[in-house]
Chains A and B, each alone.
Chain A
């Protein structure tokens, strides 16, 4: 499976409070959450994001609160994959559990720039920067996690 889109780039330590501020946690509605995604650090994100777009960031993406509303808001905003140098562990778990594709790849996170066109092949882990003509190899998921993703999330894998 491949995805392709335009990059929205952020820095290190993007926390779940800025991904979806707590003042909006009185709802679990995916569309409502998406309408406020990233607004405290990028008020224009919601306006600019298109379905299939890709988010990149530096170290420790998704640190802070365990709110699953954060990966839900990103996914519902149309983002097809988040690439970061590293992820905070609860966010990593939540993203996999709800079916938001994520890739840990420090080289890609450093080299890809805002607005670049990027294609990701989830089967091979190869990230291609079409704009720059560069490609990067992401850390593959452990088999255990591949199985959860193949089943379409944790609950589907449990029901089997």
Chain B
């Protein structure tokens, strides 16, 4: 029996010819990532354990993105701890206010992660880099600490689910709708401990931004990682960004999958996850009349250039509904700058949106758009758990940038086609 793409990458990084599902292995890491919430805990452990060096100053990334620009004294102390550690160990990829972006938008954009890499990050959405054909998974702070010190991590080799992609997405339907559809189909633990592997002739019709938002939410189905076959789209994206050699791995034709799902992109409809689980998905015919108070367009799921482009397209020459607050957060400085250059910033501001510097902010209920009791938000973020964006009795509805922007205009959850 052959190996999946994930298994091949893990085998190569464990120095083995072949691995099988369930096997415990130790892998060499190409990148260890942390943010301003998880890194301070890792630094505490690092110092407590008495480590005095890092395995590689070039293979550690620290991105200050969750509570930045710092919202209070405690979060400022946390950023300071990371800044001091990064200075002391001369960490190459340390990103602070002014050059940072949301970590999972920033690392691919800067070419810091690439096809074939083995990556851990102390943030659950580290699975995003699977869009590039890397093995990439979220861990906790102790694993980050061990990774920084040794350059290694232990893994249980996952079994796999295959998603065979065909067709082409209809207008105003995005990668976000595809992944919400899949999570609705298999559930929030439908891929527990497994890898989700995306391939098929329809892949060529999914942009890199679509793939990044899909791989990003693999964790919301419980997956260990999500991974896309590498094609011309991937290679074109990495051209000019990745300055080193990278390795393209392909699944064996006889690789073993626990399930194979056929996903025809042309049949995907605008999809929204209702409170309080990402699996509670509904398409437009079942949305009903849901009035909203806030819209958030941004996050590591949907703060990239195409997301901003879609929002600008829908908001152009329109104004958001009275009583609705719309917060737009380009995910990186480079996306922010492009929004300025392309005139989208003007579109957003004329439409009545607030535009923020890159931050995870409201997605996790951190700052920059917290909900009051009883309030409802449509958000392009990734989780709608109880209290995720603020008060335990507030509600978050997960959607694509197209649906979020359209909803901002109408004041209720709406399809883009209603106003375009």
Are A59 and B189 in touch, CB under 8 angstroms? yes
Contact (Cβ within 8 A) A17 B224: no
User: Which residues on A sit within 8 Å (CB–CB) of B48?
Assistant: 155
B372 within 8 A of A: no
Residues 45-83 of B at the A interface (beta carbon under 8 Å) = 45, 48-50, 66-67, 71-72, 74-75, 78
Q: Given A17-B386, A89-B222, are A26 and B124 also a contact pair (CB < 8 Å)?
A: no
Q: Output the nearest chain B residue to A29 by Cβ-Cβ distance.
A: B74
Contact of B124 among A21, A64, A69 (CB under 8 A): A64
Chain A residues, Cβ within 8 Å of B143: 93-94, 97, 154
The docked-state distance in angstroms from the alpha carbon of A63 to that of B277 is 11
Q: Are A155 and B49 in contact (CB under 8 A)?
A: yes
Interface residues of B in 296-355 (CB under 8 A from A): none
Cα distance A13–B280 when bound, in Å? Answer: 13
A26 touches B386 (CB 8 A): no
Q: How far is the CA of A65 from the CA of B140 in the complex (A)?
A: 9
Give the bracket for the number of chain A residues in contact with chain B.
Answer: 35 or more
- Specify the chain A residue showing the minimal Cβ separation from B76: A26
> What per-residue 1/0 map shows which CB atoms of B386-400 lie under 8 Å from chain A?
111000100000000
Residues of A close to B388: CB separation below 8 A: 17, 22
Closest chain A residue, CB of each to CB of B189? A60
A66 x B364 contact (CB < 8 A): no
Quick check: is A35 within 8 A (CB to CB) of the other chain? no
Cβ-defined partner of B142 (8 Å) among A18, A22, A64, A68: A68
Determine if A155 and B138 form an interchain contact, defined as CB atoms under 8 angstroms apart: no
Contact A15 B366, CB 8 Å, known A25-B66, A65-B124, A66-B122: no
- Against B, the Cβ 8 Å flags (1 = close, 0 = not) of A48-76 are 00000000000110011111110100000
Q: Which bracket fits the contact residues of B?
A: 35 or more
Name the residue among B142, B149, B193 with the largest chain A CB count within 10 angstroms: B142
**Complex CA distance for A154 and B42, rounded to whole angstroms:** 12
Smallest CB separation, A94 vs chain B (Å): 4
> Interface 1/0s, chain B 121-161, versus A by CB < 8 A?
01110100000000000111111011001100010100000
A47 at the interface (CB under 8 A from B): no
B224 touches which of A68, A86, A89 (Cβ 8 Å):
A89
For B138, give the chain A residue with the smallest CB separation. Answer: A66
User: Does chain A have a CB within 8 A of B24?
Assistant: yes
Q: Report if A93-B40 is in contact (Cβ < 8 Å); known contacts: A17-B383, A158-B149.
A: no
Task: Judge whether A90 and B124 touch: CB under 8 Å.
Answer: yes
Q: Which A residues touch B366, using CB under 8 A?
A: 22-23, 25
- A64, A67, A144: the one within 8 Å of B38 (CB): A67
| Cβ–Cβ contact B123 & A66, under 8 A | yes
Of B37, B66, B75, B123, most A-chain CB atoms within 10 Å = B37
In whole angstroms, how far apart are the Cα atoms of A153 and B193 in the complex? Answer: 21
Q: Is B188 on the interface with A (CB-CB < 8 A)?
A: yes
A13 and B146 contact, CB distance less than 8 A: no
A67 adjacent to B224 (CB under 8 Å): no
A98 contacts the other chain (CB 8 A): yes
Chain B proximity of A85: nearest CB distance (Å)? 10
CB distance from A101 to the nearest CB of B (A): 16
Q: Residue B385 at the A interface, CB < 8 A?
A: yes
B167 adjacent to chain A (CB < 8 Å) = no
> Smallest Cβ distance from B412 to chain A, in angstroms?
26
A98-123 contacts to B, CB under 8 A, are 98
Residue numbers in B under 8 Å from A153 (CB-CB): 142
Shortest A96–chain B CB gap in Å is 9
Instruction: Say yes or no: is B192 at the interface (Cβ < 8 Å to chain A).
Output: yes
Contacts of A18 in B (CB 8 A): 385-387
**Chain B residues within an 8 Å CB radius of A63:** 188-189, 222
B200 at the interface (CB under 8 A from A): no
Taking CB atoms, residues of chain A closer than 8 Å to B219 are 64, 90
Residues of B within 8 A of A65 (CB): 123-124, 364, 383
Query: A44: CB under 8 A from chain B?
Result: no
Q: A25-B37, A66-B38 are in contact. Are A94 and B142 (CB under 8 A)?
A: yes
Give 28 pairs: A residue, B residue, CB < 8 Å, sorted on A.
A17-B385, A17-B387, A18-B385, A18-B386, A25-B66, A26-B71, A26-B78, A40-B386, A60-B189, A60-B192, A64-B383, A65-B123, A66-B123, A66-B139, A66-B140, A67-B140, A68-B140, A88-B189, A88-B222, A90-B139, A93-B139, A93-B143, A97-B142, A144-B24, A154-B142, A155-B45, A159-B49, A159-B50
Interchain residue pairs A-B with the least CB separation, the first 6? A94-B140, A26-B74, A97-B142, A68-B140, A60-B189, A66-B124
Q: Can you name 17 extra interface pairs (CB under 8 A) apart from A69-B41, A97-B140?
A: A17-B386, A17-B387, A17-B388, A22-B366, A26-B78, A27-B74, A28-B78, A64-B219, A66-B139, A67-B140, A68-B122, A89-B192, A90-B140, A94-B143, A142-B156, A144-B24, A155-B145
